[in-house]
Structure 1
Amino acid sequence: MKDSKPLVIFGESVLPGESKTIQLEIARLHTTTKLTIPIIIKRSKVEGPVVLFSGGIHGDEFNGVEIVRQLITKKINKPKKGTIICIPIINIYGFINRSRDFPDGRDLNRVFPGSRKGSLASRFAYHIITDIMPLVDYAVDFHAGGAGRFNAPQIRLTPNNPDTKILADAFNAPFTVFSKNIPGSFRSASEKIKVKMLLFEGGKSLDVNHHVAKEGVDGVKRFLKHLDMLDSKQFAPPRRKPTIYIEKSGWLRAKCSGLLIDNNLVGQFVKKGTILGMITDPFGKFERKIKAPNDGHVLNANHSPIVYQGDAIYHLSNTVEDEQEEE
C-alpha cells in the first residue's frame, strides 16, 4: 500500500519516497557557534513502521556512533517499506569534548522525559521525547561500556515484555540481558509512550571495536528483515545459535587497589574458580587473583590498567554480589 502522509519532524515535512537530513539546533555553544545534530530520514513510498536507530547519547561511546554510521554508509537505512530515522550522535556536545555528559554536567540518559524549561540536557531530552518519539514504532539505541569497561555485544530489555523479547530474538545478539528500566533513561521514557525499544551494549567508551560494530550492524539487518523493512539489495546474515538470555547477573568489585591484569575472557563461559584476572602493585609486593564466584558468562571486563578498591571490574551472569546499573 502506498503511503501518502507526510512525516513532520521539527516543523519539516518528509514525504513518502523522500530522503532528508534535518539539522537540529537546540542551543549554541558559549562562543555563539552553531552546533547542529543531523537527523537522517529515509522514507519508502510503501506504508510501514517508523524505526529509529540512535547512538552517542553518551558522547564518549563511539562504538554506537560507528554502528549507526555504517547503517547509513551501507544504505541499510533505505527501507523496503516505512521510514528509518538515524541519529548517529544524540549528544554531539559530549562527542566533541570526548565526554559522557552534556555541557551542563548532566548525564542526558538520566533526565528523560525532560522539561521545556529545565536544564540544557533536560530541554534536549524534552524535544527528543516530544518531537521525535511519538512518530516512532520501534527503536534501537546503541551504547558502549563506560569508564573503560568493555561490554560483550548484548541486547538489554525489560523483563516480562513479550513484544521486545520477539525483537531481541530477531536481532540475535550473542547475549540478551534482562534489566529493569533506570528512571530518567531514554529507554524508560520511550517505553512509557509505547515505543518498542531495544538497547544494544557493546565495546567500551573512547574506542571503536570492529567486531562489536559488525555484531550491531548484522543484528540491525536481522531486525529490519523481521519487520519486512530490509531492502532486497541487502543480505541479512543468518541467525547463529539462539541468543543467550541472562536473567541474573552482577558486578564483582575490586577488593584492593592496584594494577589490573585482565585475562581477556569477556564473552566467554567460565567455571567457578576460573581466574578472570589479577590485581597487583607497581613494586612487586603482591598479586591477588580474581576468581569467578560461580559458573557464568563474563559480560563485561574492566580494561582500565589502574583500579581502586570497590571499582566494578567484572560483570558476570548468575551472580548477585552487586546488582548492575547500566545504560
Structure 2
Amino acid sequence: MGKSPQVNREVWLKDIEDLIANLEMLFEYSEVNIVAFKKIIKKFQKYIEHGNVSNVWTVIKAYRFFSNSELDQVLLAKAKKELRKSVPEMALTPTEALPVADQGNVPTVTKLDLDALPGGQISKLWLAVYEDGTGSLIRIPVIVAKGVKYGPTVGMTAALHGNELNGIPLIHRLFREINPQQLHGVLVAATVTNVPGYVRNQRGFSDGTDLNRIMPGKANGSSPQVYAYNLMERLIKKFDYLLDIHTASAGRVNSLYARADMINPKTKKMAILQNPQIIVHNTSPDGSLRGAAMSNDIPAITVEIGDPSKFQKRFVKNALLGVTNILCHLNMIPNEVDQPEYDPVVCSRSYWIFASKGGVLTVQPEIYTWVRKGEMIAQLHSLFGDLVETYYAPEDGVVVGKSVNPVCESGSRIIHLGVVEDSFAKEAHDGHL
C-alpha cells in the first residue's frame, strides 16, 4: 500500500480514507450477517429436537453469504496504519510538562486554549467557570493530552451529576495509559464537571438544579444557567466529539449502557464501539448536555456506567475499553479495536415504569435481564405488611435500570424498560426529563 511519488498527496489521502470507510462498512456487514446466521442456527437447535444442524454452518460459509471477516480486518488495520503515517506533525511548543505531584503548580485559566498547550505532553488545568458568594472562582479540573500529529479533539465529561462518580477513575486510568507521543489530535477530560454538586455529594447544582436539564444555559440567567453557559462556551465547544459519562441516580442501579441517536451514523458508530451491554436509541432531549453538543454539530453519546456514589472496577474497565475503541476508530491511537465478548442489546425505545401509590417497594428482575409481557416486576406493600399493588411488564423488554430504594412515593420509578423493535423513531426519549 506504498504511496507513489507521482500521485497527488491530497488525492491519495482521500482515496485511502474512502478505502477505510468502505472496509469498515464491509466488516460491519460481515459481522451482522455472521450474527444473524448464528441466531438462525440457535433457533433451529431450540425448536427442532431431532434435526441435525451440525453441517448448517459449513453450508452457509460455502455459499459465501458474507466475506472473509478476518481478511477484512487485516486490510482495515493496514489502511489505517498507512493513513496515520501520512498525517503531518503538529508544531511542538517548547514548554515543560506540568509537575505530576505538585497540585499547587496547576494553573487556573478562564478559557481553554488548546493551541497554546505543549504537544506530546499531558497538561493539567483548572478551568474557571463561575464565582461563588465569596467571589472565589469555582474551577473545573481538566486534563489535556495533546498529540504530536493532527487529529480530532475528543472531549470527556464526568460527574455532570455531582454524585455520579464512575467516570472519574475511568479518566484517571485512560490518561495513565495514553501516550501523547503516539497520539493524533487532542484528548480533553473534565473529571468533575459539576463541582458545586460534587463537593456537596449531590446530583444537582448548589441550589439543587439539574444541570443536565438546562443546557446550553444563559449568559445572564440564574446561577446554574450561568454555570452551564460558561461550561458550554469555555469547554464543550472546543470538542469535535463528546462522551458524557454518567451513572444511575441515588436509589437506582444501571447496567452498562449507552444512550445515543442511532439514526445519526457517527453517534451510532460511537455507541457500538463503546461495547456496552445495552444501547438505547435516544435523540438528545432539549436541556441535556448531549443535546446541546449535538445542536453545535458535535457528535455526542451518553455512557451510563453502573451505580452512583461508588467506584465499580468491572464497569469502569469495560467502559474504558469502549473509549479506547472510539479513539482507535478515529485514528487517534495506534491500537486496534477490541471486539466485544457479546453483542449489545439495541433498544429502539425505552421508558420508565412508575408506581401509582406509595409504600414499601420490592423490584423483582435484575438489571440486564429480559422480562416478558405480563410478568410480575414489582410489589408494593403497606407499612403494615399488606400487599397494596402488583406491577407487571406491559410488554417484552430488557431491564436497563431499576430502583433499589424500598421507600416508594406515588410517581416513584420502578424499572427502566428497553424495547427492541425493527426501526428507530426520528424522536425518542426515555422519560429522564
Give the TM-score, by structure 2 length: 0.68
8 Å contact kept, 2:355–2:411: yes
2:91 matches 1:4: yes
- 1:51-66 correspondence to structure 2 within 5 Å: 51-66=154-169
Q: CA deviation at 1:52?
A: 0.6
Aligned partner letter, 2:401: N
Q: 2:323 aligns with which of 216, 220, 238?
A: 220
State the distance in 1 between where 2:357 and 2:179 align: 47
2:432 matches 1:326: yes
Q: In the comparison of the two structures, how many residue pairs are matched?
A: 322
Higher mean Cα deviation, 189-198 or 59-68? Answer: 59-68
Q: Residue in 2 aligned with 1:136?
A: 239
2:298 matches 1:195: yes
State the distance in 1 between where 2:91 and 2:170 align: 31
Q: 1:294 aligns with which of 384, 395, 400?
A: 395
Aligned partner letter, 2:370: F
Q: CA deviation at 1:87?
A: 0.5
Q: CA deviation at 1:77?
A: 7.5
- 1:178-327 correspondence to structure 2 within 5 Å: 178-230=281-333, 232=335, 237-286=338-387, 288-318=389-419, 324-326=430-432
Q: Residue in 2 aligned with 1:123?
A: 226
Gap change, CA 1:135 and 1:34, over 3 Å in 2: closer
Aligned partner letter, 2:373: K
- 1:143-154 correspondence to structure 2 within 5 Å: 143-154=246-257
Gap change, CA 1:120 and 1:306, over 3 Å in 2: same
Deviations 1:156-179 (A, max 9, x none): 112421121112122121111111
Gap change, CA 1:313 and 1:19, over 3 Å in 2: same
Gap change, CA 1:268 and 1:77, over 3 Å in 2: farther
8 Å contact kept, 2:145–2:186: yes
8 Å contact kept, 2:219–2:225: yes
Deviations 1:43-94 (A, max 9, x none): 111111111111111112122333323323x424846211100101100110
8 Å contact kept, 1:145–1:201: yes
Q: Which has the larger radius of gyration?
A: 2
Higher mean Cα deviation, 53-62 or 99-108? Answer: 99-108
Aligned partner letter, 1:205: P
Which residues of structure 2 form unaligned runs of 5+? 1-87, 94-108, 421-428
8 Å contact kept, 2:129–2:231: no
- Tell me the SS of whatever aligns to 1:180: coil
Gap change, CA 1:264 and 1:58, over 3 Å in 2: same
Deviations 1:76-125 (A, max 9, x none): 48462111001011001100001122124422122222222222222222
Instruction: Report the RMSD for the aligned CA atoms in angstroms.
Output: 2.7
State the distance in 2 between where 1:284 and 1:104 align: 37
Identity among equivalent positions (%) equals: 26
Q: Residue in 2 aligned with 1:44?
A: 147
- 1:71-90 correspondence to structure 2 within 5 Å: 71-72=174-175, 74-76=176-178, 78=180, 80-90=183-193
State the distance in 1 between where 2:392 and 2:133 align: 49
Gap change, CA 1:162 and 1:255, over 3 Å in 2: same
Structure 1 or 2: more strand by fraction: 1
Q: CA deviation at 1:11?
A: 5.0
Gap change, CA 1:18 and 1:210, over 3 Å in 2: closer
8 Å contact kept, 1:265–1:276: no
Deviations 1:194-238 (A, max 9, x none): 111111113233333333322321211222222222355xx8643
Aligned partner letter, 1:65: I
Deviations 1:113-148 (A, max 9, x none): 222222222222222222323331111000112242
Aligned partner letter, 1:272: K
8 Å contact kept, 2:125–2:143: yes
Q: Residue in 1 aligned with 2:424?
A: none
Which residues of structure 1 form unaligned runs of 5+? none
Q: CA deviation at 1:300?
A: 1.1
Structure 1 or 2: more helix by fraction: 2
State the distance in 2 between where 1:139 and 1:49 align: 11
Gap change, CA 1:77 and 1:96, over 3 Å in 2: farther
